[in-house]
């Protein structure tokens, strides 16, 4: 029998239980077997009870596997052994179910449960799963958002931040990121005072901007390309000069910072170089002003948010409702400060074994070291703790550290390697055939090189398997770089790669490649289910799917997906929304047009033409017939059942009633559709168990899942009835092995991080980026270090993929010739010898191209004309497709406001994404509630006003202000203007829009329109601004552009004369002011 070259190391792991060992276990080296052998020695030979051993694994699956293999070994020992060894095996089997074998979080929970009082926890703990944590965060954010908007101290940083790019969605994402790292807040975020926010004196900047605008007068050519760019400064300059607050000033400065100055002919200007330099300096100064102020705002907002995140963490501790990260932090905190807890745990767990150490949170090693160190392990740094010999055993592989996004730190691994135990290496690979190992060693010995605190030294893997089956062990796709690619050829590369992948799969099956069947100890012909295609990201998945379908290769994607963006899930939730709110016409029509009911636009048009209504409960339509009537009847049945059903039960009823599973079976990817629908129902069930909420609350939570582009890891049960290729991410394949591995998706560029980026520099502090241009001043200095760590992890990810193969490895090296882009293929091809091997090209790539008729040659326009067209096209593309009328307020040049306006009462534009049952205009909470009441209240009598005000106050979360909402709404209803409207033809909350001369759409929603006795249409806009009486006239000027926009839309649509009136609402009585419009509004256009 062949003896592994590292047998001495394996023997030491098994027998040297008196020493603390740190094992570097290469891929496929049998580390689980080595771990089990050490546990068996401790239990059977050293007499250590299994109840006194803690084995910490990376996943629950690994823990279950370890437990099962231990059970099998112990049962064999009990059958074959005698005496004390048999007694120990029997006792270990009795202890196995209760033994501390499982994930780090499970171990931390066990520690806290045993020392709940010392940890400041109630005796009974509840650990929230992923859904529970998501629901809890949504509840916390609702409270935090209200507190943020109500905090007077945050008014200045928040308003300034909103003016220069910050959004409330950013703060929400920031709160989530801080919550995932709340243990770092005290030492990184809450140190020092962020200081006041001061806008510097702008006198010099204004002079600089005016000089740039004035320089346009020196241009002698009206068609010069630089001229419109210089003149573009005038608009934000005018806004800056008319700005009434710092927010408006910074918004104008931000607009200047975005300007670019290039092109232009020297002969057209007095001194083009000086003018261009001055303009660029202006933009650079504007950028610096914005960056400085944005940094100050972000520091204040981050600190405020971080303090609240710590408060919510403390509340979770008091309530005993913990999330996964809480378990680790609280366990570490307990062990760091409580000597009695350390002593007790030291006695309880005589041996600690840590598996897959490279992939776990850095907190793990500190927990383990302090337990192993006992009562005396109170040093400030865990690296200073003295660990008694034999107490700790660590096994991992730094080359497989790929979970940085889950806080796994390779620097911690390398530190622990220096401070914990004696190093032992397992290098013999039992998994992979020799040619594959040779390729892996050749490539990665060059790509993985020792870098302090960032990358380990490469240890070559030693072969153990000598046998080879039929078929090439290593095959390269795209070994030669492509020289015939046009620019922007990413899609072409992916198509070629996918074609080759499908081709090699078909070739392997048709050529009868062999794979080794471990259970039969024999080689057999490969099947499709033996093939695993591993991709670093899902970018290439659509191309693979197309190639597989074209080649007739069955496949199964076993990975996460954007579940809530899938078409069948959107249809399901639209149907649920229509049931949740019978007045939501948009969701109802969406559901009717979906495959669930199959109503076409012609059906909907005929229904509307014949007087039908898109209202779920309409007695008028009960006797109607046709597709729409049948669909509404089905929805009414579901709606009636929904009153007594949980969200998951309703979703299941919709799926059954509409035969969604059966319909999916007719499509090409039925199993994927089934899995997603089952997953959504399961999550709805989990949500109900946590929140006990109703359908509307569930739909609000589900909407967040879609808005955040939530990638949900779908648990895929083995489907033994399908012989299909498996496609999965490399992360999902970690810890698995496959007879044939194809490394695909190698053409993709590294993904740029999206969403919030919260970085923790090694030197301390933090840097944050919330969106494009919304970042702290030091982010660009810190990001390159983080990017370098990502690049090194990317190489390790490729190593993990390559070492999953048992019998055959296929590597895609598709890349463009001469490209310096850091694609995975380019990285691998850059290693000497990595391109040596059998090359394969799918036959479809070798077929001649189809003859295309020669196109007519069009003459090229003059360069200046072409350049002007480009500038015009870019300017047109930069414009908003539509302008909201309510966004024009304050743009009147005459506006000069000195009074202080309560921003909490100002009304903003409608947000169409908010839940439809929250009726009304969408500005502040009070403003929204008031406008919602006025949309539904009886304008003539005011009947139902108190109940409507109470309902909307609850909907907007301002129950304490219900009387104010009612008084403001009543002040409108009792006004002469609204009383006059109530007795005439009127329209409330009416959409208006018109096409402007520049092609943009001007649109908005008018609170109230009525036709006066002389035929004039009167536009009424309610304002809930809390302003002093002396400031009313200035507010009329402020709102004039908005009212003129409304008037223009109404006039263009009707041709009738228009008047515009502002109605300022106040509990003591409303104030009516007519807005002076251009005389053209008094008659036909």
Kindly report the three-state secondary structure assignment for every residue of 962-1008.
HHHHHHHHHHHHCCHHHHHHHCCCEEEEEEEEEECCCCCEEEEEEEE
Q: Ramachandran region of residue 935, left (φ > 0), alpha (ψ -120 to 50) or beta?
A: alpha
Q: How far is it, in rounded angstroms, from Cα 568 to Cα 574?
A: 10
Handedness of CA 168, 172, 174, 178 (dihedral sign): positive
Instruction: Give the helix/strand (H/E) hosting 778.
Output: none
Q: How far apart are the first and last CA of the chain?
A: 99
Instruction: Give the helix/strand (H/E) hosting 78.
Output: helix 60-80
Q: How far is it, in rounded angstroms, from Cα 483 to Cα 481?
A: 6
SS3 534: strand
Q: How far is it, in rounded angstroms, from Cα 359 to Cα 62?
A: 13
Query: Of 761, 1035, 748, nearest to 902 (Cα)?
Result: 1035
Query: Of 546, 555, 524, 654, nearest to 597 (Cα)?
Result: 654
Handedness of CA 103, 109, 113, 116 (dihedral sign): positive
876 class by beta-carbon count within 10 Å (0-12 exposed, 13-18 middle, 19+ buried): exposed
Q: How far is it, in rounded angstroms, from Cα 227 to Cα 267?
A: 13
Handedness of CA 635, 641, 645, 648 (dihedral sign): negative
The stretches of 243-271 forming alpha helices (DSSP H) are 246-257
Residue 220, annotated ligand binder? no
Q: How far is it, in rounded angstroms, from Cα 512 to Cα 524?
A: 9
Q: Structure tokens of 1026?
A: 């809390």
* Residue 149 vs residues 159, 178, 309: alpha-carbon distances, Å: 10, 19, 16
Q: How far is it, in rounded angstroms, from Cα 18 to Cα 891?
A: 79
Residue 32, annotated ligand binder? yes
Residue 28, annotated ligand binder? yes
Q: How far is it, in rounded angstroms, from Cα 498 to Cα 545?
A: 8
Query: Of 328, 375, 165, nearest to 253 (Cα)?
Result: 165
Beta bridge partner(s), residue 352: 54, 392
Q: Structure tokens of 347?
A: 């006695």
540 within 8 A of 745, measured Cβ to Cβ: yes
Residue 61, annotated ligand binder? no
Radius of gyration (Cα) for the chain, nearest Å? 34
Beta bridge partner(s), residue 740: 531, 808
Residue 30, annotated ligand binder? yes
Residue for token pair 């005496």: 83
Residue 791, annotated ligand binder? no
Annotation: binding site for ATP: 25-32
Annotation: binding site: 25-32
């Amino acid at each position: 029998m062949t003896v592994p070259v590292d047998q001495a190391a394996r023997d030491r792991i098994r027998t040297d239980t008196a020493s603390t060992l740190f094992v570097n276990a290469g891929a496929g080296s049998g580390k689980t077997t080595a771990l089990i052998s050490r546990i068996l020695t401790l239990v059977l030979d050293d007499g250590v009870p299994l109840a006194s051993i803690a084995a910490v694994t990376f996943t629950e699956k690994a823990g279950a596997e370890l437990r099962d293999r231990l059970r099998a070994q112990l049962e064999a020992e009990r059958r074959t052994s005698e005496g004390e060894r048999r007694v120990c095996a029997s006792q270990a089997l009795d202890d196995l179910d209760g033994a501390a074998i499982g994930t780090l979080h499970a171990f931390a929970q066990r520690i806290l449960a045993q020392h709940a009082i010392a940890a400041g926890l109630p005796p009974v703990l509840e650990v929230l799963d992923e859904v529970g944590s998501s629901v809890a965060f949504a509840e916390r954010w609702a409270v935090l958002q209200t507190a943020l908007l109500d905090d007077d101290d945050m008014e200045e940083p928040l308003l300034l931040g909103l003016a220069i790019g910050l959004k409330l969605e950013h703060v929400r994402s920031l709160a989530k990121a801080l919550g995932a790292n709340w243990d770092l807040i005290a030492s990184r975020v809450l140190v020092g005072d962020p200081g006041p926010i001061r806008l510097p004196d702008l006198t010099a900047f204004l002079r600089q901007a005016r000089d740039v605008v004035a320089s346009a007068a020196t241009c002698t050519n009206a068609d010069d390309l630089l001229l419109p760019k210089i003149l573009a400064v005038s608009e934000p300059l005018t806004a800056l000069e008319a700005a009434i607050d710092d927010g408006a000033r910074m918004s104008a400065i931000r607009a200047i910072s975005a300007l670019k100055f290039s092109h232009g002919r020297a002969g057209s200007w007095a001194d083009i170089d000086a003018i261009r330099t001055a303009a660029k300096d202006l933009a650079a100064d504007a950028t610096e002003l914005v960056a400085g102020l944005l940094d100050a705002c972000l520091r204040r907002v981050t600190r405020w948010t971080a303090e609240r995140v710590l408060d919510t963490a403390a509340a979770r501790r008091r309530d005993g409702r913990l999330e996964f990260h809480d378990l680790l932090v609280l366990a570490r905190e307990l062990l760091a400060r409580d000597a009695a807890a350390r002593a007790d745990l030291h006695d309880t767990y005589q041996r600690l074994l840590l598996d897959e150490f490279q992939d776990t949170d850095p907190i793990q090693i500190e927990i383990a070291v302090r337990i192993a160190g006992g009562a005396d392990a109170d040093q400030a740094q865990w690296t200073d703790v003295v660990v008694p010999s034999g107490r700790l055993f660590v096994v991992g592989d730094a080359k497989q550290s790929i979970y940085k996004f889950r806080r796994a730190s390779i620097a911690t691994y390398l530190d622990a390697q220096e401070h914990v135990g004696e190093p032992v290496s397992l290098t013999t690979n039992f998994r992979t055939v020799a040619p594959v190992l040779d390729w892996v060693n050749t490539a990665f010995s060059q790509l993985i090189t020792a870098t302090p605190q960032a990358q380990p030294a490469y240890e070559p893997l030693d072969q153990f398997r000598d046998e080879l089956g039929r078929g090439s062990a290593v095959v390269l796709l795209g070994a030669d770089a492509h020289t015939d690619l046009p620019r922007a050829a990413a899609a072409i590369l992916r198509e070629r790669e996918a074609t080759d992948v499908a081709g090699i799969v078909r070739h392997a099956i048709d050529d009868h490649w062999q794979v080794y069947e471990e259970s039969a100890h024999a080689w057999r012909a490969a099947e499709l289910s033996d093939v695993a295609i591993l991709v670093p990201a899902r970018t290439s998945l659509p191309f693979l799917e197309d190639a597989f379908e074209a080649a007739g290769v069955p496949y199964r994607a076993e990975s996460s997906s954007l579940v809530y963006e899938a078409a069948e899930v959107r249809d399901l939730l639209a149907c649920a929304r229509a049931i949740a709110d019978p007045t939501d016409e948009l969701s109802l029509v969406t559901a009717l047009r979906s495959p669930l009911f199959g109503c076409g636009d012609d059906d909907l048009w005929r229904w509307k033409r014949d007087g039908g209504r898109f209202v779920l409960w309409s007695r008028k339509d009960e006797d109607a017939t046709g597709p729409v009537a049948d669909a509404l009847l089905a929805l009414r049945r579901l709606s009636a059942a929904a009153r007594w059903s949980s969200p998951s039960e309703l979703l299941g009823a919709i799926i059954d009633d509409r035969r969604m599973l059966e319909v999916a079976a007719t499509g090409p990817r039925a199993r994927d559709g089934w899995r997603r629908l089952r997953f959504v129902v399961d999550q709805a069930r989990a949500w109900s168990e946590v929140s006990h909420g109703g359908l509307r609350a569930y739909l609000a939570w589900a909407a967040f899942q879609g808005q955040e582009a939530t990638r949900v890891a779908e648990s895929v049960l083995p489907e033994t009835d399908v012989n299909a290729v498996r496609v999965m991410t490399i992360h999902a394949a970690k810890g698995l092995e496959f007879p044939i591995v194809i490394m695909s998706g190698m053409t993709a560029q590294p993904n740029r991080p999206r969403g919030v980026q919260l970085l923790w520099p090694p030197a301390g502090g933090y840097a944050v980026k919330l969106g494009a241009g919304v970042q702290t001043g030091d982010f660009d200095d810190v990001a390159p270090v983080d990017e370098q760590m990502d690049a090194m992890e990317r190489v390790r990810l490729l190593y993990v993929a390559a070492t999953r193969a048992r019998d055959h490895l296929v590597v895609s090296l598709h890349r463009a010739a001469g490209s310096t882009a850091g694609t995975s293929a380019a990285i691998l091809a850059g290693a000497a010898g990595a391109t040596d091997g059998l090359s394969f090209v799918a036959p479809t790539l070798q077929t001649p191209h189809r003859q295309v008729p020669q196109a007519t040659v069009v003459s090229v326009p003059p360069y200046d004309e072409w350049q002007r067209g480009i500038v015009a096209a870019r300017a047109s593309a930069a414009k908003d497709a539509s302008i909201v009328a309510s966004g024009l307020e304050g743009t009147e040049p005459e506006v000069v406001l000195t009074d202080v306006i309560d921003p909490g009462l100002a009304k903003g534009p409608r947000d169409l994404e908010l839940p439809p049952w929250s009726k009304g205009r969408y500005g502040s909470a009070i403003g929204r509630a008031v406008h919602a009441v006025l949309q539904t209240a009886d304008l003539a009598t005011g009947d139902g006003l108190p109940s409507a005000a109470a309902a909307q106050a609850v909907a907007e979360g301002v129950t304490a202000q219900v009387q104010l909402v009612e008084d403001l709404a009543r002040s409108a209803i009792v006004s002469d203007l609204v009383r006059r409207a109530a007795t005439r033809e009127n329209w409330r909350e009416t959409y208006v829009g018109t096409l402007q001369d520049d092609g943009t759409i001007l649109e908005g929603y008018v609170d109230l329109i009525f036709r006066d006795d002389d035929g004039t249409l009167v536009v009424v806009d309610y304002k809930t601004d809390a302003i002093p009486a002396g400031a009313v006239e200035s507010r009329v000027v402020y709102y004039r552009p908005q009212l003129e926009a409304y008037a223009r839309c109404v006039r263009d649509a009707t041709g009738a004369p228009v008047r515009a009136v502002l109605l300022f609402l106040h509990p003591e009585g409303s104030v009516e002011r007519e807005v002076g419009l251009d005389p053209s509004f008094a008659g036909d256009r």
